[in-house]
Structure 1
Amino acid sequence: MVDPIATERPKILIIDDTPVNIALLGQALQEDYVIQIATSGAKGLELANEETPPDLILLDVMMPDMDGYETCRLFKQNPVLRDIPIIFVTALNEMDAEVQGLSLGAADFLIKPVNIETARLRIRYQLEREQMRKELQSREASLRLAASVFAFSHDGIVITDAENRIINVNGAFTRITGYQLDDIRGQTPRVLKSGRQPMDFYKNMWHSLLTENHWSGEIWNRNKRGEIYAALTSISTVKDESGAIHHFIGIFADITLLKNQQYNLERIAHFDALTGVPNRVLLTDRIDQAIVHAQRAKNLMAVCYLDLDGFKPINDSYGHETGDQLLIEVTQRIKGCLRAGDTLARIGGDEFVLVLLDINDGRECRAVLDRLLAKLAEATVLSGHHVSVSASIGFTLYPDDFTDAETLIRHADQAMYVAKQRGKNRYQLFDPHLDRLALEQGKTFARIEEALQQHEFVLYFQPKINMRQGRVFGVEALIRWQDPGRGLLPPSAFLPAISDTELEVAIGKWVLNRALHYLQEWQQMGIMLTVSINIAPRHLLQANFVTELTAQLAQYPELRPHCLELEILETAALEDIERVSNVMQACQKLGVNFALDDFGTGYASLTYLKVLPVHILKIDKSFVIDMLSDAEDLAIVTGIISLTQTFGRQVIAEGVESIEHGLKLLALGCENAQGFAITRPMPAEALPNWLSSWQPIADWRQGTA
């Protein structure tokens, strides 16, 4: 068989009243096909009649004036155009629409949104099918002239008498079906029937044979071994001189491989390869169907976004194979909690979406989610490891949340993040107020990202001193945002909006690089200070943190690394103290020291002091500021200083705002301080002049008021 696609570009006529759809389809197909475009059924008929008819028609169902069904009917009434394959393109996904289209002679359906790869496969398949049909017609004529065609045809051929009893078959028939002529002579082709097609299918086939003397289409048959195969079949009636039916000739090709390839491509396009459940592409279509169903049934539909808690540590610790087994196990548990009409889709690594139909009220949805959380929390053994996870779930209810599929997913996703923030292993209903807040946060995030690109951030530095010696020994780098519209902004005005994000890490890298730049400038001026930098937990725990820090230090070879000090929050190591300790030890080998910031605000301070290799503790300013008037704060400050002495650590107090604060700290045994009583944070350019003019506070050096 000559491949028409290989010899010349077939012509495809696209009939669609929506310019966007035309543009998308046309652009995707124009490299392989000659594209004609019509924006109405009438224009499509006119183009097909005026020029060389197209080889295939892509026809939109829903069009004004003349819809796709009427257009298809008119094409089929035209003897010149009737055999052109017509593929309906429709957003409808209902059986009655498909039956109506097929009854009018449509060859296939494409469901919006159109998957381009699926469309290419089906278009090529229909073009090949039409080419085969034409060839089969030609072969039918040749059979009456040359018996040799019958014997050597690659396609199966069966000849029956006027009563449809088999009188002859060729070798290809035997090869495909397994039946020799002696096995089935005198029987009807019903011996091949698989049971896949309904009775109406065969009624329509015989109606076409008896009225039009020809039928072609796909039939699923069963061979002698009981295996089902797909056959592209053409059946013709042969009449005698009087016009009476003399016999029937059936010619068919085994297209099982092509059908299986088509099926596999569709599964790849619409289903998750690991778990076998729908992916995001199919999920959107399922939600669209669920919306239509909810509108008709006048009840609720729930879209639930599920994210596993604790999946990443399991995946990292035990390997991806165990992680994959866990995802499969989780999928089965979720499916066990759902009903037949519900949908489960996997849309990310450990992220799933559930679509629950026929929900009467929010309580019914919550009952399903309660069962789901309990089931997922059960421990299991995978690859010899006892593992357990929980889930955070966000959900929204349609039509209470009256919007489209993508927005419903986004709303459920947002609610899921709220569930995580509130402690995990729980579910949260979408709140429109939180949605508006999320949009505002998104705008803020984008503005901060722009500020980093536009070099709007600057570093200020606050000195640290030894009060008794009257000596400045270091400075702390503090970021500020020089916003063109709002002026100089403190960290509290923007850092919370990017907490635990990659943007926070990017800004942390910028701070580190700028601080090293200033540190080198000062050392070249003879100013020997330690610069401390606050490091966010996400930044510190990046897999390549030590490697990148090494590379940054290498850019400043004249620096003494021990002049760099990294400050981490006491609460930063709560979830993975061993990993944090390993990173700190690797940094210390480079000469970099660590300070524990805001000490006293956590709840495992003694554990940290024993495990974490820090050499300085910073007493949080919230305790220092009020210690002169609050006995509890004074007791906390006293206890922290005693701990540092016991464990052999240095201590520095933040928030020293008066001479009296300093004197009290000195009396308690804390000599190092920073705060407004010394100086406020200043730009890097101002620091050398401040250092040259600063005078130690005499009362602190003497230790008396």
Structure 2
Amino acid sequence: MNKPTLRTLIIEDSEDDALLLTRYLQQTYELIHVRVDSAEGLSRTLKQGEWDLVLSDHSMPGFDSFAALQIVQQSGRDLPFIIVSGAIGEDLAVAAIKAGAHDYLLKSNLKRLIPAIERELQAAQARRTHFQSEQRFRATFEQAAVGIAHVGLDGRWLRVNNKLCIITGYSEEELLTHDRPSITYPDDIPDELNSMQQLLAGDVPSSTKEMRYTRKDRSLVWVNLTWSLTRTSTGEPDYFIEVIEDITKRKEATERLRLFARIFDTINEGVVVTDASNNIMLVNPAFSVITGYSATEAIGKNPRILHSGLMDKAFYDKMWQSIKKTGRWQGEITDRRKNGESYVEWLSISTMKDERGEFSHHIAVVSDISERKAAEERMVYIAQHDFLTGLPNRMMLHDRLTQAIAHAEREQRKVAVMFLDLDRFKAINDTLGHLTGDKLLQVVADRINSVARTSDTVSRLGGDEFAIMLPYIENADDIAMIALKLLASIAGPCVIDDNEIEVTTSIGISVFPEDGVDSESLIAHADAAMYQAKGNGRNNYQFFTREMNRRTLERMLIKNKLSHALERNELFLLYQPQVDLKSGHIIGAEALVRWDNPLYGKVLPAQFIPIAEENGLIPPIGEWVLREACRQNQAWRKLGLMKITMAVNISSVQFRQKNLGEIIKAILSESGLTPSGLELEITESVVMQDAEAAILLLEDMKAMGLKLSVDDFGTGYSSLSYLKRFPIDKFKIDQSFVRDLTTDTDDAVIISTIISMAHSLKLKVIAEGVETAEQLAFLKQQGCDEIQGYYFSQPVSAEEFTKLLSSGSGLCKL
């Protein structure tokens, strides 16, 4: 039978005693031993090998068992240390045991040696096993990837590992001075206490909770806390063991996934995920809303179920080439919904690759842009068409004309442009109102379209101006034929809101390439030709000539000069006397504006007033006329001359100014003229345009003390019911009736009627344009109150008028 090996270090100064001891041990063990008898020898031998046991004599020369025990202990080795001595007292033996010796016995009684050795070897093995277990636990505890802690029943930390310190941001020393609730997020403490009570009550063997800790830097960390209760051998609660895992990143990732899921389910764009074979794997609700296909209907299908048939094979080939080459594609595409309706979408496709770098999925994002496309098309339509008539506007005309010119140039053909302007449309608008005018424009647009060919472009340029672009023209006769048809079509009877309206148009024509090689010049030259047609009596057409272009340029120059006329003091007033027929004395004057330009000389009102109206210059010019007329009248009064009334014509533009009353008050205050010294002449058509509003404005002016007269009376469409409500002082008979009253009985009857009606309304009457004695005699016979005209005096300067007033000039008695 094999003996167990025993590696023994014997501390003995007596060789005989050592021999005796070894022979005794060899009876039981395969003995390996070394004898030493000094501290140096013991230290050296401990370092040289592994030992199972130390047997030491107590008393040796210069050395004893206490010193030997201390050396063994300092070596860090856990070796059984047994004292075998010839003589050791009880007190020394007890002291040795207290110092760390495991046993002692006498050399004279070795029977107890083997049992003592066996006992201490087993004890040493047990200690080593326990130590190794403790080391493994400590390594696990300290090196664990999760936090581990022992927590007392009072909640205080008893032991914590390094990972828990990292999770919480506290050092080990800091944690051991805290309790667990001090770092638990306040909202989570009740749940934590509840779990603790369940463990203490034995309701559950362990508990796992997700909760939050407050780190040292006050940030929050999510942890997964698993804890159990350790009990004593008697079953009493001892302490809690906690395993704490930092799940902050996992929680954030989970929250991101939840967010992505919510985004996936709630975004307005459709999302489609397909596999490598392009079969649909996943769709979101927006996809179903856009396409009409539910997720059940779409999953497993190929996206070809959405093809509208409107995109050709070349389109899809190019799309897939881009996807394969770059991994992505985006663009506009027309697909078809489940109900068969086609729609426009913005499609973005990207790809995903697997770990081998091969395409594994396609992700498509679909935006239904049908409404946006429709809105864009509507905006383009609005930008290119007139809102009132639906005709192409100036911008579209220019675009089409430019294209037609380019085509005609290649084909060596002609293109014509017709510029149409309705005759006397302003009078219709002022008399019957803008609503009636708009309806008339719509009727005219329809009539022009009825004559135009399908290849022509009919356009409304603004106001009462229309243009027609005629491609594929062979000769001037063809153009003239179309122009005649237009004149005839537009001039037909027109009844709007029970009003029968006579409407005609003037047409100007320009032709490519003779009259211009671009759209701007062709339209401008057609416009110039239209003005020539107006000048030739209206309701006709004219082809453009170079002379017309010269006059058009002249109009542009006049416009530019006129815009600076006021600041350069080029405007001045003439005054035409108004004479009382009973006394023959001058009782008033009409202020008439004139323009003296260094380049053009004295420009007649008929030349510059229409240009001023077209370019918004009437308000400043009109205000200047009022101011200068009032200033001059007050100047005459200061000279002690006869007090007369200054008549000033108010245009329709001025009459519609909201601050007209304030302007007049300011001018009267500035000049010092009393309100009764100013008479405002307002045309019949202006006051009838919005009669109710006109009455209110006229009443305000009358309340100021101004005199009011209706100019050009008899040329408009006055209602007697309104006339008697107008707070006016005078009718002014238009010179068109006075001119032929001695030869035209109708004019004479009209004048007689006007005078009679005015007097019945207790109004005065003044006739303008009186040039002959016969006209004067007739007017006086009919009871006309006042006259104005060349028979007495043409318009004169302020100096000349001063002389007339000073001399007391008047009409001779008939």
Given the two structures, how large is their TM-score scaled by the length of structure 1?
Answer: 0.59
Distance in 1 of aligned mates of 2:478 and 2:490: 19
The aligned residue for residue 684 of structure 1 is 799
Map of 2:783 onto structure 1: 648
Letter in 1 for 2:739: G
> Partner amino acid for 1:578?
S
Contact 1:307 1:351 survives alignment (8 Å): yes
Aligned residues between the structures: 515
Percent identity of paired positions between Structure 1 and Structure 2: 30
Paired residue for 2:348, among 224, 231, 234? 234
Structure 1 residue 353: deviation in Å?
Answer: 2.6
Aligned to 2:739, which of 570, 591, 600?
Answer: 600
Q: Which amino acid aligns with 2:369?
A: I
Structure 1 residues 568 and 283 mapped into 2: Cα distance closer, same or farther (>3 Å)?
closer
CA distance in 2, matches of 1:461, 1:185: 92
Q: How far apart are 1:231 and its partner, in Å?
A: 2.5
Distance of aligned partners of 1:441 and 1:317 in 2 relative to their CA distance in 1, 3 Å threshold: closer
Where does 1:577-588 land on structure 2 (aligned, <5 Å)? Answer: 578=718, 588=728
Using a 3 Å threshold, how does the CA distance of structure 1 residues 566 and 549 change in structure 2: closer, same or farther? farther
Check whether the contact 2:271–2:364 (CA below 8 A) recurs between aligned residues: yes
Shift of 1:531: 5.5
What's the counterpart of residue 72 of structure 1?
Answer: none
**Structure 2 CA distance, aligned partners of 1:424 and 1:238?**
75
Q: Any conservation in 2 of the 1:537–1:572 contact (CA below 8 Å)?
A: no
Query: Corresponding residue for 1:297?
Result: 411
Q: 2:754 aligns with which of 593, 611, 629?
A: 611
Q: CA deviation at 1:224?
A: 1.1
CA–CA distance in structure 1, aligned partners of residues 453 and 593 of structure 2: 54
Deviation at 1:437?
A: 1.5
CA distance in 2, matches of 1:325, 1:596: 30
Q: Please name the residue that 2:396 is paired with.
A: 282
Aligned to 1:498: 608
CA distance in 2, matches of 1:230, 1:211: 25
Preserved contact between residue 473 and residue 530 of structure 1 (Cα < 8 Å): yes
Question: Shift of the alpha carbon at 1:426?
Answer: 3.1
Q: CA deviation at 1:648?
A: 1.7
CA distance in 2, matches of 1:311, 1:252: 54
Equivalent residue runs for 1:138-177 within 5 Å: 153=264, 154=267, 155-160=269-274, 164-166=278-280, 168-177=282-291
Task: State whether structure 2 residue 481 is matched by structure 1 residue 371.
Answer: no
Q: For residues 336-385 of structure 1, what are the alpha-carbon distances to aligned partners after superposition, in whole Å with 9 as ceiling and x for unaligned? A: 43344432333323333322222222222233333333333344565566
Alignment partners' CA distance in 1, 2:578 and 2:270: 93
Structure 2: how far apart are the matches of 1:455 and 1:375?
48
Q: Aligned in 2, Cα 1:359/1:565: closer, same or farther, shift over 3 Å?
A: closer
Give the direction of change, closer, same or farther, for the CA distance of 1:694–1:215 in structure 2 (3 Å limit). Answer: closer
Matched with 1:77 is: none
Question: Which whole-Å CA distance do the structure 2 matches of 1:173 and 1:482 have between them?
Answer: 73
Q: For residues 544-583 of structure 1, what are the structure 2 equivalents within 5 Å?
A: 551=665, 555=669, 559=674, 561=676, 572=712, 575-576=715-716, 578=718
Q: 1:536 to 1:422 in 2, by over 3 A?
A: farther
Asked if 2 retains the 8 angstrom alpha-carbon contact of 1:205 and 1:215, the reply is: yes
- Structure 1 residues 538-562: Cα deviation after superposition (integer angstroms, max 9, x where no partner): 7998799996997589557765848
**1:331 to partner: Cα distance:** 3.3
**Native 8 Å contact 2:576 2:789 kept in 1:** no
Aligned to 1:112: none
In structure 1, the residue corresponding to 2:462 is in which secondary structure? coil
What's the CA shift for 1:567? Answer: 12
TM-align CA RMSD: 5.0
Contact 1:513 1:552 (C-alpha < 8 Å) held by counterparts: no
The one-character-per-residue Cα deviations of 1:132-172 (angstroms, maximum 9, x if unpaired) are xxxxxxxxxx9xx9899689624434455666454554444
Decide whether the 8 Å contact of 1:151 with 1:171 is kept in 2: no
Equivalent residue, structure 2, for 1:35: none
- Aligned: 1:422 with 2:564: no
The answer to whether the 8 Å contact 1:393/1:428 transfers is yes
Q: 3-state DSSP class of the match of 1:452?
A: coil
Does structure 1 retain, via aligned residues, the 8 Å contact 2:456–2:470? Answer: yes
Q: Deviation per CA, 1:584-612: give whole Å up to 9, x if none.
A: 995743xx675765832576532134226
Does the Cα contact within 8 Å between 1:156 and 1:171 map onto a contact in 2? yes
Residue pair 1:534, 1:568 contacting (<8 A) in 2 also? no
Tell me how far 1:312 sits from its aligned partner.
4.9
Q: CA deviation at 1:528?
A: 1.7
Residue-by-residue CA offset, 1:555-579 (whole Å, 9 max, x unaligned): 5776584896979999945742638
Counterpart CA distance in 2 for 1:696 and 1:158 is: 99
Task: Point out the more displaced range, 448-457 or 189-198.
Answer: 448-457
**Distance verdict in 2 for CA 1:515–1:609, change over 3 Å:** farther
Counterpart residue type for residue 334 of structure 1: I
Q: What is residue 438 of structure 1 aligned with on the other side?
A: 552
Partner deviation per Cα, 1:681-705 (whole Å, 9 max, x = no partner): 56438836x76678999xx89x9xx
Q: Find the counterpart in structure 2 of residue 222 from structure 1.
A: 336
Q: CA deviation at 1:400?
A: 1.4
Q: 2:346, 2:781 → 1: CA distance? A: 88
Q: Deviations over 1:456-479 (max 9, x none)?
A: 44456677899999x854575676
Residue 289 of structure 1 and its aligned partner are, at CA, apart by 2.0
Which residue of 1 is the match for residue 472 of structure 2?
358
**How far off its partner does 1:179 sit?**
1.1
Deviations 1:157-190 (A, max 9, x none): 4455666454554444323211135435665323
In structure 2, do the counterparts of structure 1 residues 565 and 648 end up closer, same or farther at CA, with 3 Å as the change threshold?
farther
Provide the rounded CA distance (Å) in 1 between the counterparts of 2:578 and 2:388: 56
Q: Cα gap change, 1:577/1:524 in structure 2, threshold over 3 Å: closer, same or farther? A: farther
**Correspondence list, 1:663-702, <5 A:** 673-674=792-793, 681=796, 683-684=798-799, 687=802
Matched, 1:198 2:332: no
5+ residue gaps, structure 1, are: 1-141, 625-636, 657-672
Distance 1:353 1:265 in 2: 22
Stretch deviating more after TM superposition (503-512 or 361-370) = 503-512
State the partner residue of 2:125: none
In 2, Cα distance between the equivalents of 1:479 and 1:382? Answer: 37
C-alpha change, 1:523 and 1:317, in structure 2 (3 Å) is closer
Q: Secondary structure at the match of 1:347?
A: strand
C-alpha distance 275-643 of structure 1, shift in aligned 2 (>3 A): same
* 1:649 CA drift (Å): 2.4
For the 8 Å contact 1:566–1:595, the answer to whether it is kept is no
Q: Give SS of 1:447's match.
A: helix
Q: Is the 8 A contact 1:287 1:355 kept in 2?
A: yes
- For residues 232-631 of structure 1, the aligned pairs below 5 Å read 232-236=346-350, 248-309=362-423, 311-312=425-426, 320-379=434-493, 389-459=503-573, 473=586, 476=589, 493-500=603-610, 501-502=612-613, 510-511=624-625, 513-528=627-642, 530=644, 535=649, 551=665, 555=669, 559=674, 561=676, 572=712, 575-576=715-716, 578=718, 588-589=728-729, 594=732, 599-600=738-739, 605-606=747-748, 607-611=750-754, 613=758, 615-617=765-767, 620-621=770-771, 624=772
Shift of 1:204: 1.7
Q: Relative contact order: is structure 1 or structure 2 higher (C-alpha 8 Å, sep ≥ 6)?
A: 1
Distance of 2:444 and 2:391 partners within structure 1 = 12
1:401 Cα offset (Å): 1.7
Alignment of 1:75-94 (within 5 A): none
The answer (yes or no) to whether the contact 1:359–1:365 under 8 Å persists in 2 is yes
**Structure 1: which amino acid aligns with 2:784?**
R
Contact 2:270 2:290 survives alignment (8 Å) = yes
Unaligned runs of 5+ in 2: 1-252, 685-709, 759-763
Give a deviation string over 1:657-698, Cα, whole Å, max 9, x none.
xxxxxxxxxxxxxxxx448xxxx956438836x76678999x
* Secondary structure, counterpart of 2:463 in structure 1: coil
